[in-house]
Amino acid sequence: MKSSTVRTYTTVHTWTGLIAGFGLFIAFFAGALTVFHHDIATWQSPPWRMTADADVTPDQLAQRLLQAHPDARKDFGIVLAPPGVARPPYAYWPEGGEERFATASAIDQPTEDATRGNLADFVYALHDSLGFPTVGMYFMGIVSILYGLALFSGLIIHLPHLVRDLFAMRSGKNLKRLWQDAHNVIGVLSLPFHLIFAMTGALLCLFAITFATLNVVAFDGKLFDAFGKAIATAPVIAPSGEAAPMLTLDELMQRARVQALKQGVTSFEPDYVHFSNYGDRKAVVEVRGLSQHTLGTYGTVAMNAVDGSVLETHVGKAQNTNGITNSAMYSLHFGSFGGRTVQWLYFVLGLMGAFLFYSGNLLWIESRRKRRMEDQPMKTRIMASATVGVCIGSCLGIAASFGATMLADVYGADAGLWQRVACYGFVIASAIYAWFRPLPRATRDLLWLNAVLYVALGAIDLVRNLQVWTQPWTPQASAVLGVDLTGIAMGIGFAFLARASWRRATQGDPNSVWSLDATTAPAT
């Protein structure tokens, strides 16, 4: 390969990585936690700590909805909490062209935000849109495309030396070479997964805008109707005008479960129920459920809501091509097709992905520093401050959102508000701190603060649930314990990084933005 070609790909790799790097670091770190979405939901609302409306059954919620909003019977849904989570079900229905959401006690004051206050959903929102709906999702879609370019150009650059340098970890005084080796080996070994993340991430984030563009440019406005028919999972049946009693939701979900298991899946846990023309003899109900150990994670069973007769099935071997494609895309992106082993694999891959973009920034800084000059260029100082403030700060912000959730639960405050204030507040404060504080000290301080916060949160929650550990174990207790122990382990990891960064500051190459002045460095 010509040297000019390598230089071109190197330039593309460097700048796409730098431009997209900050967003991707947050997406990967939050994404690693999102793999355990249900565990985080259980951590926030375990069954032994009941929340308001958690004891309201889906049938009771449906009746309260229809009493308060009779027109909703034409089209409404009930979103169920994950099994074992003391979180109330909430209703969804369209009204006046807007979406409405409410739990049983708030049925007269519906909101447009379905998941406000749910920590697991907040972390997920950080992953897919940095917490800014619509705009953030489009931004992350563009970031995913840049991510794909960085992957492709990085592969082209290292392809000639791939086998020779794959497992080379050359430690020594040349820290840049060590970072380069770590960056390369992680990038190459996890390349198949990163390709999946980049492609599915771009598709998921940019689907709406791509779809709208194709509808106008290539399909003469006919794409929406065609797509709606293609993805429909229940027949459209006109109401008869004759009133009839509905089967209970428990009965309908049980029938859906039996029907789904006939299609070869090993489990089917309903998480959403949708009604059309509730109360009519021809009312239709769709039960959506989650199946484990399959790429077709989500499936639906459509039935007559009066007698429970099955109208359509889209689960397991009864999935159509659209269902298989959509489910596979979600499953591959979030690792929901396997059990705990796959979840932990995706968790590690998420952290490794975050490291990949952090190390990319460090390599850029190391490549541009003046080795024989004490005073370093301003651009390296700016990039170093931004890397520390945003990357380490976002880890701190996510930990702070866990802490805010815990405090909001204790004091009965609005968890949704305090999650955002804590998360974004800590990220902004960290960026300001890294800008004004000498960088080696800021790096050490923020890493130690991460370590203390992660360990403290895990330890406090362990003590908070002390009585649970002495009782017979349940899957929910194991999930909460797993979140606490993972937090403590991450805190220990941050402590290790804090010590390593301080050692670099006091003992490493003095001509670096990471180095302290030897005459002013305090003893460690």
The whole-angstrom separation of Cα 110 and Cα 65 is 10
In a domain, 524, yes or no: no
In a domain, 362, yes or no: no
Give CA 479 to chain center in angstroms: 18
In a domain, 179, yes or no: yes
Same domain, yes or no: 383 and 452: yes
Same domain, yes or no: 395 and 474: yes
In a domain, 330, yes or no: no
Burial-class residue 112 by CB neighbours within 10 Å (0-12, 13-18, 19+).
exposed
In a domain, 42, yes or no: yes
Q: Give the global pTM.
A: 0.84
Same domain, yes or no: 15 and 149: yes
Per-residue pLDDT of the chain (524 residues; tens, 9 = 90+): 677 777 787 887 787 777 888 999 999 999 999 999 999 999 998 988 877 788 889 999 999 999 999 999 999 999 998 777 878 889 999 988 888 999 998 899 888 876 778 899 999 999 989 988 888 888 988 888 888 888 888 878 777 766 666 666 666 666 667 777 777 777 777 777 888 888 888 888 887 788 778 777 777 777 777 777 777 788 889 999 999 999 999 999 999 999 999 998 888 999 999 999 999 999 999 999 988 777 778 889 999 999 999 999 999 888 877 777 777 777 888 877 778 888 998 999 899 889 888 888 888 887 776 666 666 677 888 888 999 999 999 999 999 999 999 999 888 888 889 999 999 999 999 999 999 999 899 999 999 999 999 999 999 999 999 999 988 889 899 999 999 999 999 999 999 999 999 988 888 777 777 777 544 544 33
Contact 12, 153 (CB under 8 A): yes
Same domain, yes or no: 208 and 119: yes
- The whole domain housing 270 covers 54-104+234-322
Give CA 205 to chain center in angstroms: 13
Give me the pLDDT at residue 521, please: 43
HEC per residue, 405-458: HHHHHHHCCCHHHHHHHHHHHHHHHHHHHHHHCCHHHHHHHHHHHHHHHHHHHH
Sign of the CA dihedral running 458, 464, 466, 469: negative
Same domain, yes or no: 395 and 442: yes
Contact 93, 69 (CB under 8 A): yes
**317 secondary structure, DSSP code:** G
In a domain, 467, yes or no: yes
Same domain, yes or no: 307 and 220: no
Give me the pLDDT at residue 443, please: 93
Same domain, yes or no: 203 and 97: no
Same domain, yes or no: 121 and 39: yes
Contact 403, 105 (CB under 8 A): no
Give every strand in the sheet of 75-79, ordered side by side. 98-102, 90-95, 75-79, 269-276, 284-290, 298-304, 310-314
Give me the pLDDT at residue 522, please: 44
Give me the pLDDT at residue 518, please: 42
* Tokens 């007269």, residue located: 108
Measured CA distances, 165 to 5, 56, 188 (Å): 20, 60, 11
Same domain, yes or no: 347 and 408: no
Residue 397 structure tokens: 């912000």
Give CA 211 to chain center in angstroms: 23
In a domain, 407, yes or no: yes
* Tokens 């800014």, residue located: 132
Give me the pLDDT at residue 437, please: 92
The whole-angstrom separation of Cα 27 and Cα 385 is 20
90 CB-near residues (< 8 Å, 6+ apart): 61, 78, 79, 101, 102, 103, 114
The whole-angstrom separation of Cα 67 and Cα 54 is 20
Same domain, yes or no: 167 and 259: no
* Tokens 């000019």, residue located: 4
Amino acid letter for position 427: V
Task: Say how many domains are in the chain.
Answer: 3
The whole-angstrom separation of Cα 255 and Cα 270 is 11
In a domain, 309, yes or no: yes
Same domain, yes or no: 344 and 398: no
Same domain, yes or no: 3 and 151: yes
Question: Which pLDDT tens digit goes with each residue over 49-105?
Answer: 877 788 889 999 999 999 999 999 999 999 998 777 878 889 999 988 888 999 998
Give me the pLDDT at residue 441, please: 93
